[in-house]
Structure 1
Amino acid sequence: MTKVSNYPYINQIDRNSIRILHVVGAMDRGGIETWLMHILRHIDRDRFQMDFLVHTTKPCAYDDEIRASGSKIIPCLHISKLWTYAANFRRILKEYGPYDIVHSHVHHFSGYVLRLAKQLGVGICIAHSHNDTSAVEYRAAWYRRGYLTLTKRWISHYASLGLGCSNKAAANLFGLDWQSDPRWQILFYGINLNPLRDRIDPVPLRSELGIPSDAFVIGHVGRFVEQKNHVFLLEIAAEVAKHEPKMRLLLVGEGSLRPNIEQKVLQLGLSDHVIFAGVRPDVPQLMRGVMDVFLFPSLHEGLGLVLIEAQAAGLPCIFSNVVPEEADVIKPLVQRISLSQPVSEWVRVVLQQREMRSTITQSDALAQVETSPFNIETSVKQLESIYQSQFTREDIVV
């Protein structure tokens, strides 16, 4: 297959694969990054070559696997210095390109990324919305609102295509009337279900974490950032512990606010009840072998990929009503509570799960997710189809 590049600095190139540059902050373990890794592991690499432009030079959790797969990790620094960032971006595309597609995952900053990519002649520019930050934007200072207005305008002007992980996420980046523009569409995350099929022995897992075999374990997976609402999570745990002394709160993740949360644990007298597990590669195993209930009181979410995993693991899931409704994959496992409700209501629902028998088995839960749009096999096929259809439309095809 012969392609004529529309890059101004390359006239013609022969190759057999579509080259995609994903733009992401860092390839650490997070919802977006984990989904991208699922895509990398399952995509047809004879047809699609993925590289990753990141905004850091620090080693990240997925870097080694990415390089081992034949893909590149390419740092592009100084996102707060737009002219310097632009120079770095141009150098990277000249050195590592040409790329047929730039697929940006950095929310509003995608507007600037796609503007640069389009100026450099990239034919297909994709903005991907993974979050709904509308509540935060509403409270933003005037200069921040000016930045948001400008970057959204750039996205509208320069994006060949926009993807959202939910209706809320799409509306946040592409506007409330996003459905009227055929460029904007929904692409659900897919998760790898294989780890959820393995046999699990909970005894060594709990022992490793210092959790008694008869403890009631509340689980949470998320970065230590304001969005995940860890302080409220601890307030719930403190009240649950008064009713259930054998309660343990298992926190999986890292982030800038972890020291603050550790201090809050001490203040609440929860040192014997809270386990900081850090970043773990075995989250599905922890969900199945350690956790009894999954608690997720986020202040805002684009979807909440870990909620899909938790449901596939058969866990009762209690989460805030700001989470998009698309996350309700297995209705019997899902309970939504308003963030305006007091801690006591959250505690009541958590303790209720302690006594309730699940109406659905883990194998049945897994089967439901397997036939849903959240199966990685489905997600990969949809993304491959999107890439191929965009590529076919481009006038770079001879």
Structure 2
Amino acid sequence: MIRVLHIIQQLGPGRGGVRTFVSTMLDCPAPDIEQSVLSVGRVEGDRFGERFFGPLIDSYSPLLVGTLGAKRLGAFLSKHRFDIVQIHTNNALGFVFASEAKKAGVPSRIVHCHNSALGSTSSLKNMVNVAMIERFLPAASERWACSEVAGEYLFRGAGYALVHNGVDSDKFRFSPSDRAAVRHRLGIPGNATVIGFVGAGIPAKNTLRALDIFNQLRSSEADSRLLLFGQAEELPLAKEKAAELGLGESAVFIGTVDDIWRYYSAMDALVAPSFHEGLPIAFIEAQANGLPILSSDAVTQEADLTGLLQRAGLSLSDREWADLLQACAGKREITAKVDYVPFLDKAGYTTRSLYEQLSDRYRNMTKGA
């Protein structure tokens, strides 16, 4: 039996990309692979059942997680046998954890990057991050990234393997019945334009800008709605902003849901004025649904698997963004009739492809052990 431990820095309450990826991997049907999850830092929201360990410290602080948390991680790995640790990260702490795993005797140590930036505007923090990456980089026996831009950011010119995020594409196909049911439940007219936003309150997602853009759209389409998913740290600010703009019931804060595919069918477009991204799982899900996407040009072009993604500069005005978003939403009647799942299958962004690829990689790492 191959024992794999997914290590995460912390586990927030929302449906983030790392949580989604790990949850997907735990459903991998390979009978010879046993997977578990450990959070070094604080845990909020749903856990992963009996296969979950942690938190090792009750803190979100990168300093505490990277010092006391890393020390406790080393002690944990010395007591429990794992063939592989897969460390999900977007910063130098992934390599610090890999160093502790190496000291504990874990033979295969994967550092898996899920984003294209540290997420801090502090030049000092970025300098420290780079210095720590360079110091601890050799501790990783494998380097994986969700996209080329993510790999180039974290691995600083060192080699890495691309591992595509995978979704259950059949589940995310457009459904007319889901569209009608969700709109009915939320009290949204059938002919209203509905915009989606995933990652509400996450600083990198630029939630406040999304609200400003939608406010401009609403000025020309009074019945339009903005559905916001997620509940990260800036959510209170987002709700205050929505109130200041007088959006009222037009901005619907959904929170975290387990059936987001139903909501995709109810939408006409997805907006994502992000400051930085890796390759968002939400974009893959939306494209499986045939949902047009308008994102910032901080999102890698690799994310466009179907021709449904349009990118715009953050320097454009809110009105210009709103006009582009309105044009994207206007395509929904056509895109809802097209099956986009074969595009994802061909590009390797389905759970089937993910399971096959990672199962083979895990087996090759432990061959002869």
**If the length of structure 1 is used for normalisation, what is the TM-score?**
0.85
2:353 is equivalent to residue 378 of structure 1 = yes
Asked if structure 1 preserves the Cα contact closer than 8 Å seen for 2:292 and 2:331, the reply is: no
Asked if structure 2 preserves the Cα contact closer than 8 Å seen for 1:195 and 1:285, the reply is: no
2:228 is equivalent to residue 257 of structure 1 = no
Partner of 1:114: 98
Cα RMSD after superposing both structures: 2.1
TM-superposed CA distance for 1:350, in Å, is 1.7
What amino acid does structure 1 have at the position aligned with 2:165? Y
SS in structure 2 opposite 1:23?
strand
Partner of 2:220: 243
Partner of 1:192: 168
Of 196, 211, 225, the match for 2:188: 211
Partner of 2:149: 168
Q: Tell me how far apart the structure 2 counterparts of residues 204 and 131 of structure 1 sit (CA, whole Å).
A: 34
Q: Tell me how far apart the structure 2 counterparts of residues 30 and 225 of structure 1 sit (CA, whole Å).
A: 9
Of 174, 193, 210, the match for 1:233: 210
2:340 is equivalent to residue 365 of structure 1 = yes
Q: Which runs of 5+ in 2 are unaligned?
A: none
Of 293, 298, 302, the match for 1:322: 298
Of 90, 99, 105, the match for 2:88: 105
Of 56, 71, 76, the match for 2:51: 71
Matches within 5 A, 1:22-101: 22-24=6-8, 25-26=10-11, 28=13, 29-44=15-30, 46-56=31-41, 58-61=43-46, 63=47, 66-67=48-49, 71-77=51-57, 80-81=63-64, 82-95=66-79, 97-101=80-84
Q: Tell me how far apart the structure 2 counterparts of residues 280 and 385 of structure 1 sit (CA, whole Å).
A: 32
Q: Tell me how far apart the structure 2 counterparts of residues 365 and 383 of structure 1 sit (CA, whole Å).
A: 24
TM-superposed CA distance for 1:266, in Å, is 0.9
Structure with larger Rg:
1
The superposition leaves residues 71-114 of structure 1 with CA deviations (integer Å, 9 ceiling, x where unpaired) of 2333221553355324421332244x111111111222101101
Q: Tell me how far apart the structure 1 counterparts of residues 272 and 36 of structure 2 sit (CA, whole Å).
A: 32
Q: Give the direction of change, closer, same or farther, for the CA distance of 1:328–1:86 in structure 2 (3 Å limit).
A: closer
2:126 is equivalent to residue 140 of structure 1 = no
Asked if structure 2 preserves the Cα contact closer than 8 Å seen for 1:110 and 1:155, the reply is: no
Partner of 2:115: 131
**What percentage of aligned pairs have identical amino acids?**
27
Q: Give the direction of change, closer, same or farther, for the CA distance of 1:317–1:198 in structure 2 (3 Å limit).
A: closer
TM-superposed CA distance for 1:55, in Å, is 3.2
SS in structure 2 opposite 1:196?
coil
TM-superposed CA distance for 1:354, in Å, is 4.3
TM-superposed CA distance for 1:369, in Å, is 1.7
TM-superposed CA distance for 1:198, in Å, is 7.9
Asked if structure 2 preserves the Cα contact closer than 8 Å seen for 1:38 and 1:376, the reply is: yes
Of 387, 390, 393, the match for 2:362: 387
Asked if structure 2 preserves the Cα contact closer than 8 Å seen for 1:164 and 1:170, the reply is: yes
Dislocated runs of 4+, deviation >6 Å? none
Q: Give the direction of change, closer, same or farther, for the CA distance of 1:359–1:202 in structure 2 (3 Å limit).
A: closer
Of 136, 153, 157, the match for 2:138: 157
What amino acid does structure 1 have at the position aligned with 2:146? C
The superposition leaves residues 323-380 of structure 1 with CA deviations (integer Å, 9 ceiling, x where unpaired) of 011110001x221111111112111112223444655445521232233210111011
Q: Tell me how far apart the structure 1 counterparts of residues 326 and 338 of structure 2 sit (CA, whole Å).
A: 24
Q: Give the direction of change, closer, same or farther, for the CA distance of 1:239–1:267 in structure 2 (3 Å limit).
A: same
Asked if structure 2 preserves the Cα contact closer than 8 Å seen for 1:110 and 1:151, the reply is: no
Of 300, 320, 324, the match for 1:345: 320
Asked if structure 2 preserves the Cα contact closer than 8 Å seen for 1:112 and 1:154, the reply is: no
Q: Give the direction of change, closer, same or farther, for the CA distance of 1:273–1:202 in structure 2 (3 Å limit).
A: same
SS in structure 2 opposite 1:22?
strand
Q: Tell me how far apart the structure 2 counterparts of residues 247 and 360 of structure 1 sit (CA, whole Å).
A: 19
Of 278, 284, 288, the match for 1:302: 278
Q: Give the direction of change, closer, same or farther, for the CA distance of 1:358–1:57 in structure 2 (3 Å limit).
A: same
The superposition leaves residues 98-142 of structure 1 with CA deviations (integer Å, 9 ceiling, x where unpaired) of 1111111122210110111111111111101100116x56x4233
Asked if structure 1 preserves the Cα contact closer than 8 Å seen for 2:41 and 2:69, the reply is: no
Q: Tell me how far apart the structure 1 counterparts of residues 336 and 295 of structure 2 sit (CA, whole Å).
A: 20
Q: Give the direction of change, closer, same or farther, for the CA distance of 1:83–1:318 in structure 2 (3 Å limit).
A: closer
What amino acid does structure 2 have at the position aligned with 1:74? G
Q: Which runs of 5+ in 1 are unaligned?
A: 1-16
Partner of 1:9: none
**If the length of structure 2 is used for normalisation, what is the TM-score?**
0.91
SS in structure 1 opposite 2:110?
strand
Q: Give the direction of change, closer, same or farther, for the CA distance of 1:366–1:387 in structure 2 (3 Å limit).
A: same
TM-superposed CA distance for 1:299, in Å, is 0.7
